[in-house]
Amino acid sequence: MESYYGLPHVIDARQFDVDLLERIFDEAKEMEKIVDEGGCDILQRKRMISLFYEPSTRTRFSFELAMSYLGGTVFQTENAKEFSSAVKGETLEDSIRVLCGYKPNVIVIRHGEDGAAERAVRVSGKTSIVNAGNGKEQHPTQAVLDIFTVFKELGRIDGLSFAMIGDLASSRVINSNCYLLGKYRPEVIHFVSPKCAQVKPGIKEYLQRHSVRFSETTDLREVASKVDVIYQTRTQKERGSNFSCADRRLGHFVVDREILQLMKKNAIIMHPLPRVDEIPAYVDEDRRAAYFRQAANGLFIRMALLKMILAPSKS
Ligand code: CP
C-alpha cells in the first residue's frame, strides 16, 4: 500500500510523532474550509467500509461524513455484531479477509476486544485499517482530535496541566490521550478516579518513561483550580464497571457548580461523549464547556486522516 504521508494504518496513538500530528492538524484546518465549501472530490473512487461491532454516534458518523465530504464512497452494516456473519460464528480474521477481497481502500473498525485492530491489520493485505476504538485498549483518532481541540482552544500542550477524571481503568480514550501527551511536555496530569477505576499501571509506566509528571486523587476539588484542561469520562458499564460518578462515597468526580467556581477562567472542560451523570446539562451554558466543539473537530481530523491515508501521493 502506498501512503505519501507514511500512514498506511491508524492503530495505536503511539505511532504518531509531533511532526506528523502537526501535519494532521494543518490538514484538519484545511478540511474546515472544504466543509464550508460543501466538500471536494479528492477521494473520488476511494471506498471505505465502516465496520462497527459496538455502538457509536460520533466516531462512525464523523468518519462516514468525512469520506462523503471528500468525495469517497462508504459501505457499512448497521451493528456488525448482529448483522454481519459474526453472528454465525465467523472470526474477525475471516471477515476482514473476505471484505478485503472486495478491494476497499480502507476499513474503519470498532470492536469490543483488545487486539482486534492489530488482528485486522495482519490479514488486511493492501487495505488500510483504522482503529475506531478497540476493547479497553485504544481510541487513537479520538485522542488526535482531542489534542487538536486543546491546540485550538488553548494554543499549546506544553506547560498545561490536565485533570483526567472518571473510569480511567476502562477508558481506551484516556490510554490514547496519555500516549499522545507523552509526545509533548505537559506540566502535570492529575488522575481523578475512584480507587476501583484508577489509571492502568502500564500508562503510568509510559508517562514515567516520557518524563510526564502525574498524581492520583479521588477528589476533583483538590485539583480543579490548578488545571487548564478538565477531561471527563463516563463509567464504562459495557466493560463491566458498575459505579456512578455521582456516588459521593467514592469521591468527587462530577463537574458541578462547585467545580465551575474553582476552575480557572480560561480552563476548558472536555469529554469524548456520550456523557451520563458526570457533567450536568447546566454546565453546557458555561463558555469553558468545550465538549461539543471537541466532537465537531472529529469531522475535520477524520477527513485529514482519510486524506493522508488515501489521497494520491504528491509528486
Ligand atoms: N467519543 C466516541 O467515541 O463516541 P462514540 O462512541 O459515539 O463514537
* Predicted pLDDT at 4: 47
Q: Which residues line ligand 1 (CB under 6 A)?
A: 56-60, 133, 139, 142, 272-274
* Predicted pLDDT at 265: 98
Q: How far apart are CA 242 and CA 235, in angstroms?
A: 7
* Predicted pLDDT at 313: 62
* Predicted pLDDT at 169: 96
* Predicted pLDDT at 86: 83
Q: Which grid coordinates belong to 180?
A: 499522545
Which of 150, 152, 227, 225 minimizes the C-alpha distance to 181? 150
Catalytic residue among 9, 59, 119, 136: 59
* Predicted pLDDT at 57: 95
Question: Can you list the domains of the chain with their CATH numbers?
Answer: 13-138+296-310 (3.40.50.1370), 140-294 (3.40.50.1370)
Q: What are phi and psi of 4, to 5 degrees?
A: -55, -35
SS3 label, residue 191: strand
Residues in the chain with pLDDT values less than 50: 1-2, 4, 315
DSSP H or E run through 110? strand 106-111
DSSP class of residue 165 equals E
Q: How far apart are CA 96 and CA 3, in angstroms?
A: 20
Q: How far apart are CA 273 and CA 292, in angstroms?
A: 9
Which of 31, 1, 34 minimizes the C-alpha distance to 104? 1
* Predicted pLDDT at 106: 97
SS3 label, residue 49: strand
Task: Give the number of the atom of ligand 1 that is nearest the alpha carbon of residue 133.
Answer: 3
Classify the C-alpha dihedral 142-144-149-150 as positive or negative.
Answer: positive
Distance from the Cα of residue 109 to its chain's centroid: 13
DSSP class of residue 78 equals S
* Predicted pLDDT at 87: 82
Classify the C-alpha dihedral 181-56-299-95 as positive or negative.
Answer: positive
Which residue in the block uniquely carries the three cell numbers 455502538? Answer: 55
List, for residues 33-65, the tens digit of each pLDDT value: 999 999 999 999 999 999 999 999 999 999 999
Catalytic residue among 9, 46, 110, 136: 110
- Measured CA to CA in angstroms, residue 189 lies from 155, 199, 283 at distances of 18, 11, 22
Distance (angstroms) between ligand 1 centre and the Cα of 273 equals 6
pTM for this structure? Answer: 0.95
- Report which protein residue has its CA nearest ligand 1's atom 5: 56
The alpha carbon torsion through 143, 196, 210, 295 (nearest 10 deg) reads 10
Q: How far apart are CA 225 and CA 279, in angstroms?
A: 17
* Predicted pLDDT at 198: 97
Pocket mutation for ligand 1, best pick of 59, 109, 145, 271 (most atoms within 8 Å of C-beta): 59
103's CB contacts (< 8 A; 6+ apart) are 47, 127
